[in-house]
Amino acid sequence: MYVSASVMEAPTRGTVHLSDWQKSYFAIASGTCTPGQKADEYRAKILRIQYAWANSEISQVCAANLFKKYAEKYSAIIDSDNIETGLNNYAENILTLAKCQQNDSDKWQSALTTENVFGLKCVQERMQAGKKVQSSQLAPADALVLADKGISVSAAPCLPRLSAFSSTGDSECCAGSSKCVGQGPHLLEHPLSSKSLQSNVPPVTKTSDALPASSASLSEPIHTGFQAAPLFGNKEMTSGASLKIPGNYSDGQNLSLPNQSAGQAWSGKRKAFYGLTDKGSTATSSLAPCQASSTMEANAFSGNRNGSEESGVPGFRTAKEQLWVDQQKKPQSLQQRAPVSSYGGVKKSLGAGRSRGPFSKFVPPVPKQDGNENGGMQCKPHARGPTDPLLPVDERLKSIEPKMVELIMHEIMDHGPPVNWDDIAGVEFAKATIKEIVVWPMLRPDIFTGLRGPPKGILLFGPPGTGKTLIGKCIACQSGATFFSISASSLTSKWVGEGEKMVRALFAVARCQQPAVIFIDEIDSLLSQRGDGEHESSRRIKTEFLVQLDGATTSSEDRILVVGATNRPQEIDEAARRRLVKRLYIPLPEASARKQIVTRLMSKEHSCLSEEEIELIVKQSDGFSGADMTQLCREASLGPIRSLQSMDITTIMPEQVRPIAFVDFESAFGTVRPSVSSKDLELYETWNRTFGCGR
Ligand SMILES: Nc1ncnc2c1ncn2[C@@H]1O[C@H](COP(=O)(O)OP(=O)(O)OP(=O)(O)O)[C@@H](O)[C@H]1O
Ligand SMILES: [Mg+2]
């Protein structure tokens, strides 16, 4: 069965769906279903397809195919006037169309009017046919005629409805029917006289006071559910009778007979309605406003709704009505669901905001055919992001949980203050290498191809506080790539149990945002050696990461660079180490770099350090990391304030604070010590000699 293949993409839930599908398939195939039940089943299937697609259990292509198939089956039942297999309700179309003129806006005028609808040739033919059948088949006891010219209505199943009306004591229906019939000169003549029938018609609840008289006259037959009768005769009446069961699909059907010209138009409309391309649907576009307006929630399916209110179910709508109303409301509501995001695009949801379940808003799983140019790729964050429900979602993000995409887009993408290469003192070799393998290829991908292609993984390792994170930020600013900065600990702790999904989502989003740099600080905590005591979740994260890294490596067209930073390189798993091909040692700053740090920081402050004093500071700070140097300067900068002990800090003027002097550095050296021990340094040096890519 084709269904099974399509719904089994997700093994666990797919199995459940499969049995559901099978059950309903056998129910439909059993031959014992009424057309109404079949239509119910098909519509349920359509909803299930939608649900499965929304949950990424089936692909978009699969969903579109299934959807088309079942929409057609469903339409075939709804449209068919075959009493045994269909639920045709063509008359409602005609009357609704005619009614549109009154309900629609002033700007749009339907060619169909109350006067001419009954004059249509096709309607006449059907009426004549119905008349013949009716006169030959309809038992007088079962039949009622609502008006002097004989709008025949129904058969036994209608009677409960009529009897329900009788309690209200209003004769509006009869009057309305008379009017209606008076406007249609060629209505059926029922064997029973209109008078006798009129007397048989119980008063009907007045439900359409607000409607114009002519509208009321038409709407009454509609919401009594008998309007099919004069147009189709007994045959249709019988099928029409089943339509009066609340919830039946035929209630409120604005769909048509396949053989009628108007019917074809509506059939086309139906296909367009289901999002299926159909040449015929273009012909119906002019009818759409009528349909839309007539089915707006306020007035939609007034006949049915009124009918249902009469029957004590306020606000009840058949599934089909709801489908149509949802369809009409959808573009507007979707727009409302797309708030502007913080980074200039549209805050999008791949369905996260979508309520799930059988009663959720109907969203066809096929791409919109509205000529949206942005359809194929909407990867750039500043264009339309991957989570816009209006757009076809990038295939690569289909299997990713929407909330994770949101998290990555909103929380991980870095937008810190800009960092220049000049802000990083020393580490000239690392900087040159990074420029060569990261920045330039990103800027000129046309030149850096083939063997010159950039590596996909870099590891920055070295003692703490040497500028590894700073380099990461600089890459973000200078490469022009989309930058994802994530700390490994946040992957392992923040989304406990979901770490591997986050890793997958991270790479999936990055693939959509190419060129992209994924900077993973403290990568050792993510890719540490695998051991026996390791937690299952961290093992899964690691595996997923390695898989993704490989994916990034093997796909030559992907321009994703993973930059890892660690001060514990020896803890990194060997498999991960291999994948981070360029392992760059970021050592403690040399004298020149320390001087650069001091000079740059002091240039921003009020200081009076001579060249010699700076040299002395540099000499004395041997073994300090970049972070230590920064801390030393901070400490020294507080010296002038501390020397103002006699003065009130609250009243002091900035000019009264003396410049930072060498003496302040001397006292700062008393409190700031190097944070990296020589023993630790030895470890880094050794690891660099073994695995590093430095000179
Ligand atoms: N080479 C450098 N040039 C200028 N400033 C530096 C340099 N290295 C470190 N710093 C200063 O030290 C601070 C900390 O640096 P950073 O966070 O990049 O260190 P790290 O190598 O990532 O350390 P860790 O391994 O502990 O994460 C920076 O914000 C910066 O002020
Ligand atoms: Mg760091």
Please give the structure tokens belonging to residue 262: 């108007």
Q: For 541-554, what is the mean pLDDT?
A: 77
Residue-range domain boundaries for the chain: 2-85, 90-310, 421-585, 591-675
Question: Minimum mean pLDDT among 29-43, 584-598, 631-645: which range?
Answer: 29-43
Confirm or reject: Cβ of 584 under 6 Å from ligand 1: no
Please report the pLDDT score of residue 117 as a whole number: 65
Q: For 489-497, what is the mean pLDDT?
A: 64
Confirm or reject: Cβ of 86 under 6 Å from ligand 1: no
Q: For 27-32, what is the mean pLDDT?
A: 68
523 C-alpha vs ligand 2 centroid, how far in Å? Answer: 10
Confirm or reject: Cβ of 567 under 6 Å from ligand 1: yes
Question: Minimum mean pLDDT among 318-322, 366-370, 471-475, 531-535: which range?
Answer: 366-370
Atom of ligand 1 lying closest to residue 473 CA: 18
Residue closest via CA to ligand 1's atom 17 equals: 469
Residue labelled with tokens 């009424």:
34
Please report the pLDDT score of residue 611 as a whole number: 92
Please give the structure tokens belonging to residue 122: 């096709």
Q: Which of 95-109, 376-390, 414-428 has the highest mean pLDDT?
A: 414-428
Q: For 11-38, what is the mean pLDDT?
A: 63
Range 649-667 burial, b when 16+ CB lie within 10 A, else e:
eeeeeeeeeeebbbebbee
Task: Indicate the DSSP class of residue 277.
Answer: -
Residue 421: partners with Cβ closer than 8 Å, 6 or more residues away: 431, 435, 474, 478
Please report the pLDDT score of residue 172 as a whole number: 37
Confirm or reject: Cβ of 466 under 6 Å from ligand 1: yes
Please give the structure tokens belonging to residue 72: 């057609």
Confirm or reject: Cβ of 630 under 6 Å from ligand 1: yes
Please report the pLDDT score of residue 511 as a whole number: 85
474 C-alpha vs ligand 2 centroid, how far in Å? Answer: 13
Please report the pLDDT score of residue 661 as a whole number: 93
Q: What is the C-alpha separation between 411 and 501, in angstroms, rounded?
A: 16
The share of the chain scoring above pLDDT 70, in percent, equals: 48
Please report the pLDDT score of residue 134 as a whole number: 56
- Top pLDDT among 37 and 310 is at 37
Radius of gyration of the chain (CA): 38
Residue 693 has pLDDT above 80, yes or no: yes
Confirm or reject: Cβ of 587 under 6 Å from ligand 1: no
469 C-alpha vs ligand 1 centroid, how far in Å? Answer: 6
Confirm or reject: Cβ of 431 under 6 Å from ligand 1: no
Residue closest via CA to ligand 1's atom 13 equals: 627
Please report the pLDDT score of residue 628 as a whole number: 95
Confirm or reject: Cβ of 470 under 6 Å from ligand 1: yes
Q: For 647-669, what is the mean pLDDT?
A: 87
Q: Under a CB-based contact definition with an 8 Å cutoff, are residues 546 and 579 in contact? A: yes
Range 90-127 burial, b when 16+ CB lie within 10 A, else e:
bbbbbbbbbbbbbbbeeeeebebbbeebbebebbeebb
Distance of alpha carbon 15 from the chain centroid = 25
Residue ranges with strand state E in 507-590 = 516-521, 560-566, 582-585
Please give the structure tokens belonging to residue 19: 């049995």
Please report the pLDDT score of residue 527 as a whole number: 83
Confirm or reject: Cβ of 633 under 6 Å from ligand 1: no
Confirm or reject: Cβ of 425 under 6 Å from ligand 1: yes
Please report the pLDDT score of residue 125 as a whole number: 76
Confirm or reject: Cβ of 460 under 6 Å from ligand 1: no
463 C-alpha vs ligand 1 centroid, how far in Å? Answer: 10
Q: For 219-233, what is the mean pLDDT?
A: 36
Please report the pLDDT score of residue 585 as a whole number: 93
Which ligand is nearest to the Cα of residue 462, counting in written order? 1
Question: Minimum mean pLDDT among 97-101, 386-390, 452-456, 550-554: which range?
Answer: 386-390
Confirm or reject: Cβ of 597 under 6 Å from ligand 1: yes
| Peptide bond connecting 515 to the previous residue in cis, omega within 30 degrees of 0 | yes
Residue 254 has pLDDT above 90, yes or no: no
436 C-alpha vs ligand 2 centroid, how far in Å? Answer: 22
Q: For 394-406, what is the mean pLDDT?
A: 71
Please report the pLDDT score of residue 453 as a whole number: 81
pLDDT interval class at 598 (50, 70, 90): very high
617 C-alpha vs ligand 2 centroid, how far in Å? Answer: 25
Confirm or reject: Cβ of 475 under 6 Å from ligand 1: no
Cα distances from 649 to residues 403, 606, 633, 638, 643, in angstroms, run 50, 18, 21, 13, 11
519 C-alpha vs ligand 1 centroid, how far in Å? Answer: 15
Q: Under a CB-based contact definition with an 8 Å cutoff, are residues 632 and 665 in contact? A: yes
pLDDT interval class at 425 (50, 70, 90): very high
634 C-alpha vs ligand 1 centroid, how far in Å? Answer: 14
Please report the pLDDT score of residue 575 as a whole number: 87
Q: Which of 82-86, 176-180, 336-340 has the highest mean pLDDT?
A: 82-86
The amino acid sitting at 516 is: A
Please report the pLDDT score of residue 583 as a whole number: 93
Q: What is the C-alpha separation between 524 and 573, in angstroms, rounded?
A: 8
For the 591-675 domain, the top CATH level (class) is mainly alpha
Residue 677: partners with Cβ closer than 8 Å, 6 or more residues away: none
Q: What is the C-alpha separation between 357 and 47, in angstroms, rounded?
A: 9
C-beta atoms surrounding 558 within 10 Å? 17
* DSSP letter for each residue of 53-105: HHTTSS-HHHHHHHHHHHHHHHHHHHH---TTT----HHHHHHHHHHHHHHS-
pLDDT interval class at 568 (50, 70, 90): very high
One CATH from 3.30.110.40, 3.30.420.40, 3.40.50.300, 1.10.10.10 for 421-585: 3.40.50.300
Q: Under a CB-based contact definition with an 8 Å cutoff, are residues 49 and 24 in contact? A: no
* DSSP letter for each residue of 117-161: HTT-HHHHHHHHHHHHHHHHH--GGG-EE-STT--EE--GGGHHH
Q: Under a CB-based contact definition with an 8 Å cutoff, are residues 551 and 520 in contact? A: no
Please give the structure tokens belonging to residue 164: 């329900």
Of 421, 470, 618, 681, the one to substitute when testing ligand 1's pocket (max ligand atoms within 8 A of C-beta) is 470
Torsion of CA 357, 362, 368, 370, to 10 degrees: -150
Confirm or reject: Cβ of 563 under 6 Å from ligand 1: no
* Alpha helices in 213-295, H assignment, sequence order: 213-224, 228-243, 261-273, 279-282, 288-294
470 C-alpha vs ligand 2 centroid, how far in Å? Answer: 7
Q: What is the C-alpha separation between 48 and 679, in angstroms, rounded?
A: 64
Q: For 181-200, what is the mean pLDDT?
A: 37
* Cα 347–Cα 558–Cα 450 angle in degrees, nearest 5: 155
Residue 491: partners with Cβ closer than 8 Å, 6 or more residues away: 499, 502, 503, 526, 541
Atom of ligand 1 lying closest to residue 472 CA: 18
Confirm or reject: Cβ of 350 under 6 Å from ligand 1: no
User: What does the pLDDT look like over 602-653, one tens digit per residue?
Assistant: 999 988 999 999 999 999 999 999 999 999 999 999 998 888 877 777 788 8
Q: Under a CB-based contact definition with an 8 Å cutoff, are residues 98 and 92 in contact? A: no
- Top pLDDT among 21 and 679 is at 679
Distance of alpha carbon 651 from the chain centroid = 58
Please report the pLDDT score of residue 676 as a whole number: 93
Confirm or reject: Cβ of 430 under 6 Å from ligand 1: no
Please report the pLDDT score of residue 614 as a whole number: 94
Please give the structure tokens belonging to residue 547: 């898989």
Residue closest via CA to ligand 1's atom 24 equals: 464
Q: What is the mean pLDDT of the chain?
A: 64
Q: What is the C-alpha separation between 559 and 466, in angstroms, rounded?
A: 28
pLDDT interval class at 506 (50, 70, 90): confident
Q: Under a CB-based contact definition with an 8 Å cutoff, are residues 550 and 453 in contact? A: no
Which ligand is nearest to the Cα of residue 473, counting in written order? 1
Which ligand is nearest to the Cα of residue 521, counting in written order? 2
- Top pLDDT among 270 and 596 is at 596
Atom of ligand 1 lying closest to residue 470 CA: 18
Q: For 129-139, what is the mean pLDDT?
A: 60
Please give the structure tokens belonging to residue 492: 């392992």
User: What does the pLDDT look like over 71-116, one tens digit per residue?
Assistant: 888 778 777 777 677 776 554 554 455 444 444 444 445 555 666 6
Please report the pLDDT score of residue 632 as a whole number: 95
283 C-alpha vs ligand 2 centroid, how far in Å? Answer: 64
Residue closest via CA to ligand 1's atom 30 equals: 627
Q: Which of 173-182, 422-431, 517-526 has the highest mean pLDDT?
A: 422-431
The reply to whether the predicted model has a pTM over 0.80 is no
Please report the pLDDT score of residue 536 as a whole number: 73
Confirm or reject: Cβ of 225 under 6 Å from ligand 1: no
Q: Under a CB-based contact definition with an 8 Å cutoff, are residues 224 and 201 in contact? A: no
- Top pLDDT among 128 and 174 is at 128
Q: What is the C-alpha separation between 456 and 478, in angstroms, rounded?
A: 17
- Top pLDDT among 345 and 653 is at 653
Q: What is the C-alpha separation between 671 and 667, in angstroms, rounded?
A: 7
Please report the pLDDT score of residue 556 as a whole number: 67
